[in-house]
């Protein structure tokens, strides 16, 4: 399963690679990383059919996670990937907005990786 992680913090890449080391090794998950909303969209343009799951931060400079979600839902209606939004603690506004725009799930920072792994595995099945 190909997962695109969108976050403006570059350290997220090494964190995910280490957290999901076993799954990546076994080929269960494949992670790609984009460090801005724009980058994520251009990646989607070239790998549209491959990406099954998008994990996106909401608060990013430039294109926000919410805008990215809107674009994805508009540009890729044929093969819609699952979109899971991540945001800072206690931000109910963003939560409601993301759900309304068609986000599949919602996570709050700090991300509970155990919970995330379970959710990803459920999507996998």
- Contacts to other proteins by CB under 8 A: 9, 11, 15, 18-19, 21, 88-90, 92, 109-111, 113
Please say which residue, 26 or 46, places its beta carbon nearer to other proteins: 26
Question: Between 71 and 108, whose beta carbon lies closer to other proteins?
Answer: 108
In the bound state with other proteins, the residue whose beta carbon lies nearer, of 47 and 109, is 109
The least distance separating other proteins from the CB of residue 17, rounded to whole angstroms, comes to 9
**Strand, coil or helix: 97:** helix
Question: What is the rounded CA–CA span in Å between residue 58 and residue 106?
Answer: 10
Can you list the positions of beta strands (E) in the chain? 2-6, 30-34, 51-57, 82-87, 105-108
Distance CA 13, CA 48 (A): 20
**Shortest separation between residue 122's beta carbon and other proteins, angstroms:** 22
Residue 14: CB minimum distance to other proteins, A: 8
Q: In angstroms, what is the minimal distance from the CB of 97 to other proteins?
A: 17
Residue 58 in contact with residue 76, Cβ under 8 Å?
A: no
Q: Which is nearer to other proteins, 51 or 57 (CB)?
A: 57
Angstrom distance (rounded) from CA 113 to CA 99: 21
């Amino acid at each position: 399963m190909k997962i695109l992680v969108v976050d403006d913090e570059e350290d997220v890449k090494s964190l995910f690679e280490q957290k999901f080391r076993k799954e990546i090794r076994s080929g269960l998950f494949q992670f790609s990383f984009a460090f801005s909303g724009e980058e994520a969209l251009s990646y989607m343009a070239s790998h549209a059919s491959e990406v099954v799951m998008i994990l996106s931060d909401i608060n990013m400079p430039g294109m926000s996670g919410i805008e990215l979600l809107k674009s994805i839902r508009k540009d890729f209606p044929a093969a819609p990937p699952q979109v899971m939004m991540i945001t800072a603690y206690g931000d109910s506004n963003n939560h409601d907005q993301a759900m309304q725009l068609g986000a599949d799930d919602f996570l709050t920072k700090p991300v509970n990786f155990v919970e995330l792994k379970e959710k990803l595995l459920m999507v996998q099945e």
